[in-house]
Amino acid sequence: MDAEEPSRTALATARARAYHQVADRPLILVDPLAGPLLGVTDDELAASGEPAEDRIDSRARRLFFAARARFAEDRVAAAAAAGVRQVVVLGAGLDTFAHRNPHPGLRVFEVDHPATQAWKRERLAAAGIRRPETMTFVPVDFETDALATELAAAGFDRAAPAVFVWLGVVFYLSPEAAHDTLAYIAGQARPVEVVFDYLRPAGTDAERARLRRRAERVAALGEPWHSLFTPEDIAAQLHGLGFTEVEDHSATELVAGYLDGPAEFDGAPPEALRASRLLRARR
């Protein structure tokens, strides 16, 4: 991504969450701050619609973005109920959980690229959304900065349990950077939990062609993919790092769990969801 500009994919994800609030029923994720943070009203979102030729994939992708965020927030709620008082949101983008955080005493550390984070601060100010005392910004470039150093400087307690939420990021990192981050998470005081999504490699020529088209679109935005994992490979990495509970969901399975079951997409999964998976690991 451009060092002076916010992430284009983070912006697209934020718009999808905002559009979900007006276009989909039932709601998977209730996020009344998504639109105001972008500076758009419900009427403007409703009027913008989505391209007719991309309607199925656009809706599928939007529902997955909502479902992965809902799943992560549900896991945070369970951890908070069990006494965990720290959440780290890695690659936060324009996520609004820290501003909707309903758990007293739960600190939220938002980690992201400095340019995206600076832009988010501007958007928060423009929207009149106050930063809560329980939220801390932690600017980090995953490829060049030391996550441990920056989090420690921000007041994160390495010796206390925590939940890490890492959505829409792993595939943009090198395999080494992704593994190093998982190793850092695994070294947190127990219990520690991480929720993240990843892309699996294609299994057929048709899937490879579809995945290549998606990769070309994000590369054209200056944010190319660098890492894909098979479920078996990522599970082996996690077990090797000491995680004892690994729960892996396909995107369609995840969305169906929050809506009307497998019939939601009426047949084969849409192209936008075929490679996407969401994983929860705990130790």
pLDDT tens digits, one per residue of 179-192? 999 999 999 999 99
Question: Could you tell me the maximum CA-CA distance found in the chain, to the nearest angstrom?
Answer: 51
Query: What's the pLDDT score for residue 207?
Result: 81
Q: Which residues pair with 148 in a beta bridge?
A: none
Question: For the whole model, what pTM was predicted?
Answer: 0.93
The pLDDT, as a whole number, for residue 144 is 77
pLDDT at residue 222 in the model: 83
Position 203 scores a pLDDT of 79
Q: What is the pLDDT of residue 117?
A: 92
Regions of the chain where pLDDT drops below 50: 1-2
Peptide linkage before 262 cis (omega within 30 of 0): no
**For residue 51, what pLDDT is reported?**
62
Report how far apart, in Å, the C-alpha atoms of 277 and of each of 60, 101, 103, 199 are: 13, 25, 27, 6
What b/e sequence results for 243-281 when a residue is b if at least 16 CB atoms lie within 10 Å of its CB, and e otherwise?
A: beebebbbbbebbbebbeeeebbeeebbbbbbbbbbbbb
Question: How many Å apart are CA 131 and CA 125, to the nearest integer?
Answer: 9
Q: What's the confidence (pLDDT) of residue 135? A: 98
User: What angle, rounded to 10 degrees, do the helices at 251-258 and 55-81 form?
Assistant: 70
Please classify residue 232 by burial: count the beta carbons closer than 10 Å to its beta carbon, then call 0-12 exposed, 13-18 middle and 19+ buried: exposed
**pLDDT (0 to 100) of residue 80:** 98
Cα separation, 71 vs 29, whole angstroms: 9
Per-residue confidence (pLDDT) for residue 196, from 0 to 100 = 98
Tokens for 245, please give them: 């509970």
Q: Give the pLDDT confidence score for residue 56 in this predicted structure.
A: 64
